[in-house]
Structure 1
């Protein structure tokens, strides 16, 4: 398995392979860039089919975090960690202790946080072995709800703000009656569904866990859809909230939605699909712009900020997206390319 020749390697500063036979930990930590500050990015646990698949994911995710931080005007870089395993059956206390030891060895270049498959309680175990953990102690939330350190509410609210701004820009309407297809009802996707339901949107949902679908059906009146059918629905918005590379040669021809705005990282299989979406008349919200709410939330927890300042920063996600859309229209360029250009100007690539 090559690294420097890997198609997703982008001059990453550090890539660390973590293996501990006793605890069962098999993980990869990738630090992409630290020009603006220490790299920060969540740890994800997923039953990857191979170590090659895990490496591809962590390289893409860590790079995305660099761009995400830059677009959110944060003084930090991009990093990520992935653990190979099933988060529902393979976790152990020892595993997260060993993860903490590996993170500590990086000396602050990488600060870990919560991501898919990882809970605040998992990170609290990790924090027993390293000081470089964020998102486990929160002083406040953007909406005054109890603070437990979980950045998912901030992420979901930011995606909601961005989706609303995208619908206004692309469809010239509010969310009342807008049809939204949500792929994935995890920590962020389910909260996004709640925001959309309260705003009057009609929801179509899919997920690999039936209990999440049943909850959404009961609570939001959502229509349950088979995973393979979510792309081709006759809806206004497609909101990918699961894994990446979901906009690809197979799915693109199926998409009828005129707006794509969701929480998933690395939604495009490659950058060229941004232009393909533009040619197809689909407004694409660059993923690392719209889903920056989590790192914005974590950042404010380390500052002497206030709930009002946090909420204002989250609300600014909509303004940032509108700036990207306007510049893309002026240049007749894909929105992801415009976002990349702005981010690279900021972190000095």
Structure 2
């Protein structure tokens, strides 16, 4: 994380210092874009460390800005959540409340709008939310209340820890499916969602598109077609989580963690 000074200016000196800190870890950490960072920032950081991804790439190659790839995976996950929770493959008329309309949430909104979903948008940058709503024929609300709208699917795509005891009790939706990291404020909140009968798409499963993209770039494995093929499997992984949860009675979040541990040989 880079904590920019007041005003948000990321100077070359600041990014260079961050790069040197990453380099000092000897490859135990590899950095790429996230909230507030850009390909240009990655170029600057790459002057101080080789442990960086998300750099500009030639057309057809894996890599570059991970945002659109994250948005595509979240979009496919939202459609999978609609199939599971609503029994529908048709997004026309499905009410989706999107919190955060930056690179990921904005990309998700555009994809869902093409499918005819009914969108309510919210962002701390009100002008950005209003502009996108005007473009897509959506409505807007404030970032906190968007989580408690009467909607079919709530999609958190801003910052984390938005699902806690209070917000979960106030949810009026059938599913939560969004790209924000660390959506659950505590481990107990997965069980709270389950107790309310709300389908949950664990964040690191549904938002994996971006890391798939920058990981293949960094490792030099595959091209854009391979990235897209792997992203296309995100719904299958979500279905696996939901099926195992239904069979075991464990929360979706706990099942996802268990699957992850099995995949890395620590289950």
Q: 1:190-228 CA distances to partner (integer Å, 9 max, x unpaired)? A: 111111111111110111112211221111111110223
**Equivalent position of 1:46 in the other structure:** none
Please say if 1:171 is aligned against 2:61.
no
Cα distance in 1 for residues equivalent to 2:179 and 2:7: 22
**Equivalent position of 2:41 in the other structure:** 122
Asked if the contact 1:156/1:188 (under 8 Å) is kept, the reply is yes
Structure with bigger RCO (C-alpha 8 Å, 6+ apart) = 2
Q: CA deviation at 1:290?
A: 0.3
Asked if the contact 2:63/2:213 (under 8 Å) is kept, the reply is no
**Equivalent position of 2:198 in the other structure:** 282
Asked if the contact 2:122/2:142 (under 8 Å) is kept, the reply is yes
**Equivalent position of 2:76 in the other structure:** 161
Asked if the contact 1:162/1:290 (under 8 Å) is kept, the reply is yes
Comparing 278-287 and 294-303, the one that deviates more: 294-303
Structure 2 residue corresponding to 1:313, chosen from 230, 241, 247: 230
Comparing 231-240 and 303-312, the one that deviates more: 303-312
Cα distance in 2 for residues equivalent to 1:128 and 1:192: 33
**Equivalent position of 2:3 in the other structure:** 84
- CA-based RMSD of the aligned residues comes to 1.7
Q: 1:125-167 CA distances to partner (integer Å, 9 max, x unpaired)? A: 110111111011334459xxxx871000000000001111111
Please say if 1:199 is aligned against 2:118.
no
Cα distance in 2 for residues equivalent to 1:161 and 1:315: 7
**Equivalent position of 1:52 in the other structure:** none
**Equivalent position of 1:134 in the other structure:** 53
Q: CA deviation at 1:249?
A: 1.4
Residues 50-65 of structure 1 correspond to what in structure 2 (within 5 A)?
none
Please say if 1:339 is aligned against 2:253.
no
**Equivalent position of 1:226 in the other structure:** 142
User: Taking structure 1 as reference, are residues 304 and 232 closer, same or farther at Cα in structure 2, changes over 3 Å only?
Assistant: closer
Q: 1:276-327 CA distances to partner (integer Å, 9 max, x unpaired)? A: 1111110000001000100111123243423332211001000000011011
**Equivalent position of 1:293 in the other structure:** 209
Cα distance in 1 for residues equivalent to 2:60 and 2:70: 12
More helix by share: 2
The count of residues paired between Structure 1 and Structure 2 equals 264
Cα distance in 2 for residues equivalent to 1:112 and 1:348: 24
Q: CA deviation at 1:85?
A: 3.0
Q: CA deviation at 1:83?
A: 1.9
Cα distance in 1 for residues equivalent to 2:221 and 2:187: 38
User: Taking structure 1 as reference, are residues 106 and 308 closer, same or farther at Cα in structure 2, changes over 3 Å only?
Assistant: same
Residues 141-160 of structure 1 correspond to what in structure 2 (within 5 A)?
149-160=64-75
TM-score after normalising by structure 1:
0.72
Q: CA deviation at 1:189?
A: 0.8
**Equivalent position of 2:124 in the other structure:** 208
User: Taking structure 1 as reference, are residues 244 and 86 closer, same or farther at Cα in structure 2, changes over 3 Å only?
Assistant: farther
User: Taking structure 1 as reference, are residues 327 and 206 closer, same or farther at Cα in structure 2, changes over 3 Å only?
Assistant: same
Cα distance in 1 for residues equivalent to 2:6 and 2:80: 34
